[in-house]
Structures are given as C-alpha cells and as structure tokens.
Amino acid sequence: MIKQSQGRNSLEFVPTMSANLKDASFAASMPSSTPSAPLYNLTVPALPTFAGGKSATWFWTTTTIIFSLLALEQIVYRYKKRHLPGDKWTIPLIGKFADSMSPTMEGYKKQWDSGALSAISVFNIFIVMASSNEFSRKILNSPSYTEPCLVHSAKQILRPENWVFLNGKEHLSYRRGLNSLFTRRALGIYLPIQESVTRKHFATWLADSAKTPRAQPIMMTARHLNMDASLHVFCGKHISDEAALEISDKYWAITQSLELVNFPLALPGTKVYKAIQARKAAMRWLELAAKRSKESMASGAEPECMLDEWVQILNDPSYKGRREFSDLEMAMVLFSFLFASQDAMSSGLIYGFQHMADNPDMLAKIRAEQATLRQGNYDKPLSLEMIDQMPYLNAFVKESMRVKPPVTMVPYKTTRAFPISDDYTVPVNSMVIPSFYNSLHDPSVFAEPDKLDPERWLDPEGSANKNPKNYIVFGSGPHRCIALEYAHMNIVLVLATAAIMLDMEHEITPESNEVEIIATLFPKDGCRLKFSPRNPDH
C-alpha cells in the first residue's frame, strides 16, 4: 500500500518526529539556580516603551504582525471548519502535530467517532477526516475533486517521475498497461515462486526456533519473508539471493521515513537520507534485473517472473499499449510495488499468524481443509485451482484483514472545492482522509464487528457478502490496489503452508493486543511465536 498510510501506501500518519527534532534541538543548558544569588540581583529586562526610539517601534510592529498572523490563522481555521466537529481553536503554528507524532488507534477512533466528517489542522494544513463508508468512498471515487497525496518524503524516495504520482487520464493509461502483470495467467507464474520462497523461510524459522526455548517476535522475520517473496516474484532468477538480502536489510530505513512531516532537507543522518540510500541500493539491483530479463526473453526463454511476463507482453505484436520501457523505468515500477506492498503485506501476514495462533479452532479448520485438499501429499505444489478450493482459509484471510486492516486510511487532497455533503464543501488544497476502519467495523454490516468470524464470509446471503462496498481493505476507485488478488493469494499461500509445516505457540504479552502504527498496523510486541515442526497428530 502506497498511501500514507502509509501508506499507499499508503501512507498513514506515522509521525515520530522526535528523533529529527532531537537532532535539531537547542543544546543550551539551563542555568543552575544558585541559592547564593539573591533574587533582587536578577536583572529584569525592561519592556521597551515608545520612548525607547527606533528599536521599540520595531518591537511593537513585529509583535503586532505576529499577533495578527496568529489571529488570522485562527480565523482561517474556523472559517474552513465551519460546523464540523473538531477543536474550536487550533494550536498556533503546529496544530495537532504533537498527537500525530505518536498516533494511537484510540486517538484515531476518538477522531472517527466524533463525526462522519471532522476537522483538524497540522502545521496549517487543514485536514478533513472522513469516517463513514459513504464519505470515504466518495473521496476515493471523485477524481475530478481529489487525488492521492503521499507524504512529502515519498517523492524524495520514489523519485518525482515515478508513475504513482500520475493522476487522471495519464494515470489511467499507465495503470492499464500494468494491469497485465496481475492477470490470472501471471498469478499462475508467481505462485510456485512464492511457495518455494515461503517453504525455504519456514525451514529457517524452524531451525532458528530450535536454537532457543523462547518465543521470538516475527515482526522482522515475516518482513524478510515477504520481501524475499516479492523480489523473487518480480525478478525471478534475475536477482541474486545476496541482492534480495541487501534490499531487505536496508528497506526498514524506508518504512521508518514514512512520516507525515520530515526534516525538510535530506541531509546525511536524517531518516529521508537513509531511505534514499536504501532506494538507490534497491534500484541498482532492480535495473540490472530488468536488463537481464530483456536479454533472457530475447533469447527465447519462457517467462518465469513478473519482469519476464512484462517484457513478453511488450514484445507481443498484438499488444496495443506503449512498448518502450527503459531498464530504469521498469525498475521504478517494481520499486513502487515494493513501496506499496512491503508494509501492508507484512501487516496482513503478521496479524494472519497471530489470529491463527490465538484461535486453535480456526487453525484446526484450516488444517482439515488442507488435509482434504492435499490428500496426504503435503509436498504437492500449489496451483491457483487449489487456492480456489480453500473456502475456509480464503474467508479467514479476508476476515483477518477486516478486523485488523493493514491500511486504515489514505490521505488525499482536494484539487478544487469539493462539495462532499449537502451542507459542507471541503476547501481547495485541503487534505481529505478517508478512513477504512469504521466501514470494516460497521455493526449494521458486521455483527459483533470486533469478533474474528471467518464464517460470516461463507454465507453468500449473509450481510458481509451483501455489502461489498464496506470491504475497502484495498481502497476503492481509480487508485484501488492494483494487486489485490495477488496480495490476498500470497497471504493465503503463506498461511496454508504454515498450517501444514508448523506448530506455533503464541506467547501472549500485555502488548499482544495493543496496536502499533508503523506505516501500517502491527501487534505492539511484534507477535511472539515459538515454532516447531508440525506434529500431524495435532
């Protein structure tokens, strides 16, 4: 997901500016109070008076200007906000910045529950939060009024010419070309790659788990698995394991840079600088992979990965779209996919594991389904048809992401005044943030909305299936996730393989059910699991 989350990718608010602020903070120390220094010795600066001449005039003029600007800030905020719920006054200059530094689900829920539309201001950016399904979908589906608005650092990291910054017709036509990378035919090529990477990682997880008696957080191990699978799906044999490891190791710097507000200059030491270095390393390998794929396809090889599939489509005489893509441009597209997927997929996977481990009855049903399907042959490679024949696991994955949506909101901005409701028009150049959480937890559609209940998706006449517009885990409208089937399929595949290869024990801590927002949602303790080889008697 690309929004800020963050996410597109989302890109959500992940503003932990403290480190940057710390770097830039004043180093002045407080004078120690010395009891020997009598109070009357302290010099009290005299207030400048008009009699003080030019400097006093300066002082009063400056003060008047500052106060006028601060008053103007309040008037503009009140004027834009009108009757929407939200603070009556905004904190001068910074607005709700302090809250956005360490966002919490409780804070967001409070905001969403304050109204279907509500207002806040951060650093003088006027923000309208939409919490209802109607308004969230309206923002996502109104391209003549709104467009995605990635966090500032995204442009520095992805490069401004990346396709994800296109809008309108240009975006539509570029995206149409990329859709061919996610057809069923293409997914059939990716599936065996995902399966072999997943099995390889699980073997390592088991070996590592055998070395220590304690459960370990899967936060990083699951992220590595996901990155390795993505890179091999995208680049196949055109990327080495060593390159995949380097990209995976460095990628965390990119996740950490997805903050609402970053230090404006990408100076050495800043998060954005580190993220740009990580992108450069990744791009070098991705460009090389694009070059190798073109060579391989020119030599008559069959497509074995996304790049190969893409090159083959471009070479197909019946293909009507644009044919020329430089290695650099192909690498930028693949990088945009990594950027959009790494955090969202990792969140979906980690909560998938946590939900599976915490619900032995559901794990038993997943295993029973696998047993029926595989008929004792647990080494048989998976096919798309087999994935289709896992209704329970498909429902489980759908439900897991409903309960804990990896992307809870995506920031958009208004490109002109946007009459979102009968009685409110969002001013031009405001941020508008559709949130997904309330749609996915609407009690009128999902009875007991916080309960994990995969069965609700198994009844075609049930309320969940009758209200598909509420399932906005992957967004809606022209920027809806381009890879939703691929993403869903990958999580199904990983959990199916885990169910047959691994036994898992969840070490529940006070933070297991606390949510941490790092671009996307994660259990605060990183989901501590102890793995052992699957005992078929369980």
Stretch that binds ligand HEM, among 2-10, 246-254, 287-295, 521-529 (CB under 6 A): 2-10
**Cα-Cα-Cα-Cα dihedral of 9, 12, 13, 18, to 10°?**
-50
Stretch that binds ligand HEM, among 87-95, 103-111, 336-344, 420-428 (CB under 6 A): 336-344
Binding residues for ligand HEM, how many (CB under 6 A)? Answer: 31
Residue 175 near ligand HEM by CB under 6 A: yes
Residue 351 near ligand HEM by CB under 6 A: no
Q: Which is nearer to ligand HEM, 356 or 482 (CB)?
A: 482
d(CA 340, CA 273): 19
The binding track of 286-325 with respect to ligand HEM, each residue x by CB under 6 A or -, is: ----------------------------------------
Residue 219 is which amino acid? M
Q: Which is nearer to ligand HEM, 90 or 394 (CB)?
A: 394
Residues 6+ apart with CB under 8 A from 449: 440, 441, 442, 443
d(CA 127, CA 345): 27
Q: Which of 148, 303, 411, 526 binds ligand HEM (CB under 6 A)?
A: 148
User: Among candidates 349, 280, 271, which has minimal Cα distance to 520?
Assistant: 349
Q: Which is nearer to ligand HEM, 15 or 348 (CB)?
A: 348
Q: Which is nearer to ligand HEM, 371 or 515 (CB)?
A: 515
Q: Is 481 annotated as a binding residue?
A: yes
The binding track of 456-495 with respect to ligand HEM, each residue x by CB under 6 A or -, is: -----------------xxxxx-xxxxx--xx--------
- Give the Cβ contact number of residue 19 at 10 Å: 13
Stretch that binds ligand HEM, among 249-257, 323-331, 402-410, 510-518 (CB under 6 A): 402-410
Please identify which residue in the block is written with the tokens 């946590």.
354
The binding track of 404-423 with respect to ligand HEM, each residue x by CB under 6 A or -, is: --xx--x-------------
DSSP label at 404?
Answer: S
Residues 6+ apart with CB under 8 A from 335: 158, 162, 279, 282, 283, 286
- Give the Cβ contact number of residue 513 at 10 Å: 12
- Contact between 444 and 36 (Cβ < 8 Å): no
Residue 1 near ligand HEM by CB under 6 A: yes
Q: Which is nearer to ligand HEM, 197 or 483 (CB)?
A: 483
Q: Which is nearer to ligand HEM, 427 or 477 (CB)?
A: 477
The binding track of 111-140 with respect to ligand HEM, each residue x by CB under 6 A or -, is: -----------------------------x
Query: Residue 217: which H helix or E strand, with range?
Result: strand 216-217
d(CA 473, CA 353): 18
SS3 432: strand
Q: Which two tokens stand for residue 390?
A: 């896992």
CB of 164 to ligand HEM, least distance (A): 6
User: Among candidates 475, 520, 123, 523, which has minimal Cα distance to 345?
Assistant: 520
- Give the Cβ contact number of residue 183 at 10 Å: 13
Q: Which of 6, 10, 400, 439 binds ligand HEM (CB under 6 A)?
A: 10
Q: Which two tokens stand for residue 194?
A: 């995902």
Residue 145 near ligand HEM by CB under 6 A: no
Residue 330 near ligand HEM by CB under 6 A: no
Residue 433 near ligand HEM by CB under 6 A: no
- Give the Cβ contact number of residue 91 at 10 Å: 14
Q: Which residues bind ligand HEM (CB under 6 A)?
A: 1-3, 8, 10, 140, 148, 164, 175, 336-337, 340-341, 344-345, 348, 406-407, 410, 473-477, 479-483, 486-487
